[in-house]
Amino acid sequence: MQVFIENQAGSRRKNIYDEHTLKYVRTVDVSASYPYPYGFVIGTVSGDADAVDCFVLTSEPLIAGTTLECDPIGLLEQVEDGEVDHKILVVPSGGSATIDDAVVAALKEFISGVFSHVPDKRMEIGRLLDRNAAENYLRQCRGSS
């Protein structure tokens, strides 16, 4: 699957791109640094009407605006302001990563604090599910695009 990188690991700058044209729109500051490169799966539509969001579990620096082939390895359930906004956890194709307690803790800390500057923002973090759940979710989100 093709993943478009919007935000670099370590940055508090949230880049916003048009999900259809992949053209840069604007940048806003958020309250927490991205723990991993963050982007979306091209050609998908999730429960919040945006493309499926994903974290790329890699130590390699990935620059915003980059597109790369990735493989899903997990699904982190999330609800944002009452809308399903699950996060797919991926690795660059051919790569590997372990979703251990440290990875989960970093993701939950980021999700819990990224929008703390936005009044009344509600973020609910659910279960961490396996690769099969991620693949099933992606199939559902491709069927609605």
Tens digits of per-residue pLDDT, 69-119? 999 999 999 887 887 788 999 999 998 888 999 999 999 999 888 887 778
* Residues 86, 32: Cα–Cα separation, whole Å: 19
Domain count for the chain:
1
CATH of the domain at 99: 3.90.80.10
Output the six-digit token pair for 116.
């703390």
Check pLDDT > 80 for residue 13. Answer: yes
Residue whose structure tokens are 């919040």: 48
What tens digit of pLDDT does each residue of 106-120 get? 999 998 888 877 788
Q: How many CA atoms lie within 13 A of 82 on its CB side?
A: 1
Of the chain, the end-to-end C-alpha distance in Å amounts to 15
- The mean pLDDT of the chain is 91
Domain that holds residue 62: 2-143
90 alpha carbon, distance to own chain's centre: 9
Q: Indicate the pLDDT class of residue 62, thresholds 50, 70 and 90.
A: very high
Is 58:36 a contact under the CB 8 Å cutoff? yes
Helical segments of the chain, H only:
101-113, 131-143
- Is residue 49 over pLDDT 90? no
Q: Is the pTM of this model over 0.85?
A: yes
123 or 43: which leads in pLDDT = 43
Whether the CB-CB separation of 5 and 66 falls below 8 Å is answered with: yes
Alpha-carbon distance of 145 to 20, in angstroms, equals: 11
Strands (E) located in 45-94: 53-56, 67-80, 83-84, 87-92
